[in-house]
Structure 1
Amino acid sequence: MQGKIDMIITKSISRFARNTLDCLKYIRQLKEKNIPVYFEKENINTLDSKGEILLTIMASLAQQESQSLSQNVKLGIQYRYQQGKIHINHNRFLGYTKDKDGNLVIVPEEAEIVKRIYREYLEGSSMLQIARGLKADGILTGAGNHRWHTSTINKILRNEKYIGDALLQKTYTVDFLSKKRVPNNGIVPQYYVENSHEPIIPREIYMQVQEQLVKRRCVHISKNGKKRNYSNNHPLSQIVFCGNCHEIFRRVHWNNRGKKSIVWRCVSRLENTGLFCTASTILEDTLKEKIVEAINVAVSGKNSFLAILKKNIETVLSVDLDETTADIDKRLEELQAELIQLANSKEAYDNIVNEIYRLRDLRQETLSRNALRQDKRDRIAEMTDFLNTQTGDITEFDDKLVRKLVEKAIVYDDRLVVEFKSGLEIEVNL
């Protein structure tokens, strides 16, 4: 546009612009500089008297053609989705790449990173702690970055592709001109394909993580209805409760007559919860000592506690589910076959579709119950392994051990009750 261009020659209008407005806008800007545009296919010169009229007509046709092509591509993609054929961008997909046939295959060293993220989250680490640990160890993200964000960890923990499934059309293109993609909140159909590729994470572990994600959104609801959000800044956060009013204890930096100390105090005494409470404040050092004492009680009486744990795991295993996922999957296959045969019968068709929806909901509930049962088994196994391998008393408070073993600590005026994730309860005097 600085007088260096005499003429622009382009093959066709569709190559010059994708819509009529843009085409005319740039043509007029060029005409102001006395620069003609010649379209070979349509034989139009924009400096001709009839050029702009013809151009308007032809540009409109080109826009329609482009829109039609975009729609055809969209329908082709949707048809592949309906057939269960997945198309996944693997360039920034941690844990997977594609083979020469275009199939997703596991990258072993990256898969270990994914497994680490799931394991640490179930062990009690927050997304921020996991991200910091990965960065400290020099591990790169799927995009090759050194910096890990909590949003990246969150997406990995929620991604169904790590269990071998694929939810297709999570986003969609608003229109073919802007090519802007937005999250799909039910505007266009979504397709869920099971067992489309090799999983990295077992389905039971994935379901445990989903349960934990829900649990951490609101870990405790007070008697007055107030929600206490999950916090993992300290290994005792959200696990210390008041034995009097059942509210949580909060960590407080206390300055009593110039003497600084860290204490834990019932929130009913820190804020207006509507609950009257006279619970005593407990020094953090004392709280830690008593939790260590409770763990050592379990170690010293390991024989009797191992017997209790064995009974607990037998109880968990003896719980029969009404139907297994295999039973439900078999019934779903039968119904889908019936659906094809009875497509012409509206009444039968609707009945089968409703039953399929019911079974799908039941399948999800069964997976959740299986995950909870497996989580309980894992916690019992962890406590059993700890008692079997621990030969002497614990001499100091261990953050990781407490996160792994302790579910809850309830503070009374004269005692502390420690509830372990395995189901054991041990009481120590204060």
Structure 2
Amino acid sequence: MTVTDISREPQKPEIIRLAAYCRVSSKSTDQLHSFAAQIRYYKDYERMNPQYKLVDVYADEGLSGVDMKKRDEQNRLIRDCKLGKIDRIITKSVSRFARNTQELLVALRSLKEMGVSIYFEEQGIDSDKMNMEMLVTFPGMAAQQESVNISDHLRRSYQMRMESGEFNCNAPAYGFKMVDGQMVIKEDEAAVIRRIFDLYLQGVGKQNIANILNAEGVPRRYAQEKWYHTTVNYVINNERYMGDALLQKKFTTDTLPFRKKKNRGEKPQYYVENSNPPIVSKETYIAAQELQKSRNVSHKRERVHLLAGILHCPECGRTFRRLLLNGTAYWLCSGKAAGATNCQSRRVRENAVYDTFCLMVDKLSAHRQDLLGTLIHQLEMIQNRGGESLEKVRQIDKQIADLSAQNLVVARLHTNGVLNATDFAAQSSVISNKINALRLDRKKALAEDEDDELIYTLKSLDDTLAGYVPGTPFNRALFEEIVQSITVVDNARLAFHLVGGLAFTEQIPENVRCRTA
């Protein structure tokens, strides 16, 4: 018997239709170079991998990375996948495809159902080799790490610019505006700043200055806002008004969730002289500082004790006075002690006030996110942080996306030789100018009103409590910073009235309570 091996004729390997997805620079001057470079890269990739046939390169502008709905090219890519034109997608990294984990997961599942695989070069992840359970777990971790890396790069960039003195603010203080990335004086607001310094040097107090400005209807940056003691204090102590800048007053935490914190020595600060045009002279600014110091010293001399003028009677409203008895300090209603009022007898030990304050701060610190975080968020929502301004931002984003698409088309036409260099430069310049103007409008629409009295105060309190360690012994500086007054409800309870209009009632520990007289 003869057995003959009849081998099949070798079949040609099946050609896999490949699509490349990338993001090009958001700067119009770099778009052409970026897009052309990535086309070359993927053409070379196709040549080195003969099993692939490159269908197209889909490129979105880098600015639109957070929301898939704003990516026109990515949407075109998905449509082509649905039409059966593509078998496989290649992209640089997870974050290039999406940073929103939920949308990324939906897209991956959808592509898998269409029979389209996707390969992320940087992470070395191939969706063709993953089951659905793995799809659920990987994108969030990868994209989150990418967000951390990007934030770290931004922080380093800011740090280097601060060290070199090149850093400028993103949201200029009242009295300034940004023109082509530079701070310039806004004369109508600058006149108000000069007047505040003049009034203060004439001896007018900060609250009285605020009252004068409010009575005259002098507007702040946003018409609905009023002038307050703290706003005037911010002006008097802002070195920007004499032309200098103290950089990194706040910093962003290194890990998720990213949060801004007041810099209390955790990060270096940089003082830049002549960083911006001055609104007042250095002599005027320094004179205001000296006057402020002298007033603070005078005020401290008048208040002989930390609790003087702080403790109040809930019945007659008078302050409490200090009494030493057998070496122990007590505080009692001055009206009752003098026989001028018929209030209920209330007295509290001095150490009991401090102990009760510590208990109150421990609880406030522990529930800081629920109490202060929620309150700040609600106030920001009330202040038109949503509504009209968000709709305006959405409209601006749509216009930017449309213009960016036009710019990409112009760049492609130039790459293909349809447009000459002169026409390309002219058309690209017009589109880029429109985009830049829209971005400035977007920044204004999203600008956070840092001067708002209540929100500013609550954020400062939140920053202060963020660094507080529960169980810390009584801290005089913290007490002076956050306590405005204390009502002695009775011999067992104190009501603390804090900055920002907050009030908390706390039980006095039983071992330090005074007996009811």
| Fold shared per TM-score above 0.5 | no
Higher helix fraction (1 or 2): 2
Which band: TM-score by shorter chain? 0.3 to 0.5
Give the TM-score, by structure 2 length. Answer: 0.35
Give the TM-score, by structure 1 length. Answer: 0.42
